[in-house]
Structure formats: structure tokens, C-alpha cells
Amino acid sequence: QCESTIARDIRFWAKNKRADTILMSRRGRTDFKPFIMGAISTRLVEYCRDCPLWIVGGGVRSKKALIAVDSSDNALRAVDHAGFILAGTDCRVTIFYTMRNLRRFVPLEALEEAPDLEEFWRNKAGQQIAPYMKKAKEILLDAGLPGDQIATKVIDGSRSAADDILQEARENGFGTIVLGRRGLSKIKELFMGSVTSKVLINSSGLTIWIVQ
């Protein structure tokens, strides 16, 4: 039986049984690239759009979860999933937003000619994300997490949101990263440079939850 058929069978079983999540273990303790490039697990990430996926790293003992959000419904669904799973535990959760840096998509020369543009962008981006951060915290509180287990953090992002997320997780002892995956038709993007893909490839030793 080919890998794509096995993956589809798992997906259909999970959908029919209304599974809360599909859990996958990384192969070995090395770089995550063999996972992304290999077989059944790859197909599951590609096909499964009905329930969250957990990619579990070996030896994760941290009780801290980092929920990376943006201004999308997908991100709020990821928050809702985390709240459902973590309610009633002593896990500490941080709602994390890396503010898009203009230098990710505006040439440096253009920014040098308009020195106030970056400050304007930061203020505007902060205003836009604020209601989503508030809503995310409300979702966790409504799920039953106590307020003293919830933190929020907004940073002035670098050129790479994925790098910012991974750096935050590793430097501050998070064991789990929760991500909302955008759209049902962006599978190609997932494997060719999206934030989710980059986090997966470089997240050895961490557990990743992907929520559609």
C-alpha cells in the first residue's frame, strides 16, 4: 500500500471517528528534514485538514506552550485547540506575535528615504493585532486556563517570522509550539517557504501542533 493511500486512510479514519488530533512521532533525533521529505508523515501534513496534527519531539518535558498568532481566524482556532487541550493542567501558555518587519518586503533603500515609515508601520501593526491578542486570551480564559498561566508577548520581528518563533521557544524553554495553518489551498506554500514549513524543518527537540 503506497504512502499516500495510507495517509488518506488515516485522515478518513480520524474524520469519521471525530478524532481530536492526529499524533505523529519524529523519526530519530536528527534534523526534521527527513520527516518533511519522507512518506506517510509528509502526506498527512498535506492531506489532513479536518483535525489538528501533533508532531511530537522526543524527550520534551517542558510545560510551556508558545502559541504563535496573527490576525487570522486560523490563529484563533489554534488558540481554541490549545485551550481545549491544556485546560485543567498546570501548563503555562504564551500568546506570541512577531510583528511583520517592513524589511521583509520593502527594499532597504526605500526605507532609508522614508525614515518615519517603519515607526508608522509598527504603530499600525500594533493597533491591528491588539484585538486578536485580547480575543486569544479570552478564548483561553473561557476554556478554563487561569489568568496567571497566560502571558502575551509582541515583538518587533526580524526578517523571518519562523526564526522569531523558534528563537523565542528555544531561549525561553518552551516545549510546544502551536501554529494555525492558513487556508486549504496553500499546501504547495507549506512545503516551499511558509512559516509553518520553516518552523517544522528547524524544530528538532520541540513538539509542534498544527491547527487548520
Position 8 pLDDT exceeds 50? yes
1 has pLDDT over 80:
no
Query: What does the pLDDT look like over 177-193, one tens digit per residue?
Result: 999 876 444 444 544 34
Q: Are strands 150-156 and 92-99 parallel, antiparallel or unpaired?
A: parallel
pLDDT tens for residues 78-120?
A: 999 999 999 999 999 999 999 876 666 665 666 566 667 666 6
* pLDDT value for 203: 87
**String of DSSP letters for 44-89:** HHHH--SS-EEEEPTT----EEEEE--SSHHHHHHHHHHHHHHTTS
Check residue 173 and give its pLDDT.
96
The boundaries of the domain holding residue 193 are: 3-211
> What is the predicted pLDDT for the residue at 128?
83
User: Quick check: 127 pLDDT over 90?
Assistant: no
What's residue 129's pLDDT?
Answer: 87
> pLDDT at residue 6 above 60?
yes
Selected residue with higher pLDDT from 79 and 15: 79
pLDDT for res 186 = 47
Contact 190, 45 (CB under 8 A): yes
The answer to whether residue 142 scores a pLDDT higher than 50 is: yes
Calculate the average pLDDT of the chain: 80
The total of structural domains in the chain comes to: 1
Rounded Cα distance between 69 and 73, Å, is: 10
In this predicted structure, what is the pLDDT of residue 188? 47
Give the pLDDT band of residue 165 (cuts 50, 70, 90).
very high
C-alpha cell, 161: 517570522
Q: Give the model's pLDDT for residue 133.
A: 93
What is the Cα–Cα distance from 208 to 178, expressed in whole angstroms?
A: 6
Q: Quick: pLDDT tens for 44-64.
A: 777 677 788 898 877 788 999
Looking up residue 48, the CATH number of its domain turns out to be 3.40.50.620
How far is C-alpha 124 from the geometric centre of its chain's CA atoms? 23
**62, 169 contact by CB (below 8 A):** no
